[in-house]
Amino acid sequence: MTPTTRLRATVALGLVALATPAAAEDACRALADLRINDVNLLSAVPVAVTDDLPAFCSVRGYVRPAINFEIRLPEDWNGGFYMAGCGGFCGQLLSDAPGFVNAMNHGLRRGYAAATMDGGHWGANSVDARWALHNRVAEVDWGERAVRVTAELAQQVIAEFYGDAPSPRIFAGCSTGGRQAQMLAQRSPGLFDGILNGAPAMDYTGLVGSWMASVVQANTDAEGGRIIGPGDVALIRDHVLAQCDAADGLEDGLISDPDACTVDWAPIACGEGTNEPCLSQAQVDTLVAWTETGAVTSDGESLYPATVPLGSEPFWGLWLTGFEGGGGGLVPVFNQGFLQFMAFRDDPGEAFSSMDFDVDIHPEQLAFMAAIYNADAPDLSGFAEAGGRMITWHGLADAIVPHGKTVAWMEGLRDTHGADLDAVNRLFLIPGMDHCGIQPGPGITSAGFDPLTALEAWLETGEAPGALMTTRRDAEGAVDWERPVCAWPAQAVHDGTGDWREADSFACVAD
Ligand SMILES: [Ca+2]
């Protein structure tokens, strides 16, 4: 008897074997004896119920060479599998990430067997790229292999533990987790039934390479200093809101259609008769580059189909300008680390800076790594044939992964799939929401909507969601306003008379 078949005989009696808590704990500890190719199982330990989480069996280990994972198997199993992705460059096993963004406990609380991984390397934090220096194996693991092999392994362990294959199988990720979501749908289309694809960083070489380099260069003066800093953001934020709030048809403090507005910067540009504070010409130039021009070659050819969205200013401290007193400004950090250690076939290393990136030479040199990292092909045919369903969601005030690329990808998918796209993937663009709904601002955070319940219903009934409800709450938790977000390309349009704080005052209009 091999260890695996012995285990199957003792553990895989399914529900009978797990009938009592003591039996479940024995079955949990027995999982540590599983032998799976390329996998070192380090521990399998029962974890008691808490106020926050149900009782579960924690299985930890790594897939060679360095994909650290944890699988959490609840005693009271709902029959499903929920896997969470990771953000940025990953590099940490964040089993207890809060909320639902890249957080496996969001599924565990609903009774799913849950799993996550660290992307296949150790990093000091999720913006640390040093692990990738001359390390193609780790780059391939971060690019595609870590999520795939963890998903395969987790489904094998789940079947061993419960005696039954999981259904449904759901993957949920945001940012890099969204890139992982699209990678799974495109390269491993049979591994998941449903996918939640948040703010996908689907084109790392275009986004974190060319586009972020253009954002950094546009905001760097000849001495290497910032042109727009944290002290300038409030003036810009208030001016953009004043000019763009009503452009979507409703003055509600939200810029619901940032692409429908063009800002005239002249009223806040320094000049005769302008009040302080005001913007220098260099600052206006930076704003035009960020919000209108985007990443272009010296001939004006576009390198990436997105710009910094109007209405994202409340979130610029963390992503673009840094905060007063230090910290934040992660776009420059991401861009520099990516270019030094990840973006090129041969890493230039730490001597390379964002200012060294030549928009006429370097973008095409990123093609080799693009084949490893990117998942932006406008084709979900394999996923569609496997019966997969995807909900894609993206905040319209996302200043680090702007929504323009996601809309362009959807337009490409529409060309490929025609009207059949609606049965495979639906996109929800969420007004006023920051990247992955992380920071509170004018719109909702990730806590203000529930795409998992919508996906579960879609998988169960076959009926795709036409709208997702979003709820904004005040500091005390009372409902401030509620509004549907409609499946792209439809938009929630106000009826002209009703209270804009009430969901009933809106209807989805296709155009
Ligand atoms: Ca508005």
Residue-wise DSSP of 344-383:
SSS--GGG--GGG--TTTSGGGGHHHHHHH----S--HHH
**Distance of CA 21 from the midpoint of ligand 1 (Å):** 54
Task: Provide the pLDDT for residue 16.
Answer: 54
298 CA to middle of ligand 1, Å? Answer: 35
In a domain, 440, yes or no: no
* 352 within domain boundaries: yes
Distance from the CA of 432 to the center of ligand 1, in angstroms?
10
The answer to whether residue 279 sits within a structural domain is yes
CA of 249 to the centre of ligand 1 (A): 6
- State the pLDDT at residue 5: 43
pLDDT band at 19 (very low <50, low <70, confident <90, very high): confident
pLDDT at 2 over 50: no
Closest CA to 240 of 300, 310, 161: 310
Cα–Cα separations (whole angstroms), residue 492 to 257, 326, 328, 486, 511: 10, 38, 33, 6, 10
Position 482 in a domain: no
**What amino acid occupies position 360?**
D
Residue 281 inside a domain? The answer is yes
| pLDDT one-digit tens code per residue, 300-346 | 999 999 999 999 999 999 999 999 999 999 999 999 999 999 999 99
Ligand 1 centroid to Cα of residue 251, in Å, is: 4
**Cα 214 to Cα 363: distance, rounded to the nearest angstrom:** 11
For residue 292, tell me if it sits in a domain.
yes
Q: For residue 17, what pLDDT band results from cuts at 50, 70 and 90?
A: low
The CA R_g of the chain, rounded to the nearest whole Å, is: 24
Q: Which residues pair with 58 in a beta bridge?
A: 45, 72
pLDDT at 15: 56
In a domain, 506, yes or no: no
Task: Report CA(447)–ligand 1 centroid distance (Å).
Answer: 21
pLDDT in tens, 392-416: 999 999 999 999 999 999 999 999 9
Domain count, the chain: 1
What would the two tokens of residue 261 be?
Answer: 């507005």
**Distance separating alpha carbons of residues 491 and 69, to the nearest angstrom:** 40
Q: For residue 170, how far is its CA from the centre of ligand 1 (angstroms)?
A: 34
The answer to the question of residue 278 being in a domain is yes
Distance 410 CA to ligand 1 centre (A): 24
Predicted local confidence at residue 422, as pLDDT:
96
Q: What tens digit of pLDDT does each residue of 41-95 get?
A: 999 999 999 999 999 999 999 999 999 999 999 999 999 999 999 999 999 999 9
The residue range of the domain holding 332 is 207-372
Q: Are strands 506-509 and 491-494 parallel, antiparallel or unpaired?
A: antiparallel
Distance 484 CA to ligand 1 centre (A): 14
Those residues with Cβ within 8 angstroms of residue 473's Cβ, 6 or more apart along the chain or in another chain: 447, 448, 479, 480
CA of 248 to the centre of ligand 1 (A): 5
Please give the distance, rounded to the nearest whole angstrom, from the Cα atom of residue 7 to the centre of ligand 1.
60
How far away, in angstroms, is 211 Cα from ligand 1 center? 27
Stretch 155-170: mean pLDDT, rounded?
Answer: 97
For the record, the structure tokens of 124 come out as 């000091």
pLDDT score of 9: 42
**What is the Cα–Cα distance from 347 to 288, expressed in whole angstroms?**
32
Angle at 494 between CA 489 and CA 497, to 5 degrees: 165
| Contact predicate 269/281, CB 8 Å | yes
Expressed in angstroms and rounded, the spacing between residue 422 Cα and the centre of ligand 1 is 27
State the pLDDT at residue 12. 46
d(CA 431, ligand 1 centre) in Å: 9
pLDDT of residue 502: 98
- Which residues neighbour ligand 1 (ion) by CB within 5 Å? 245, 248, 250, 252, 254
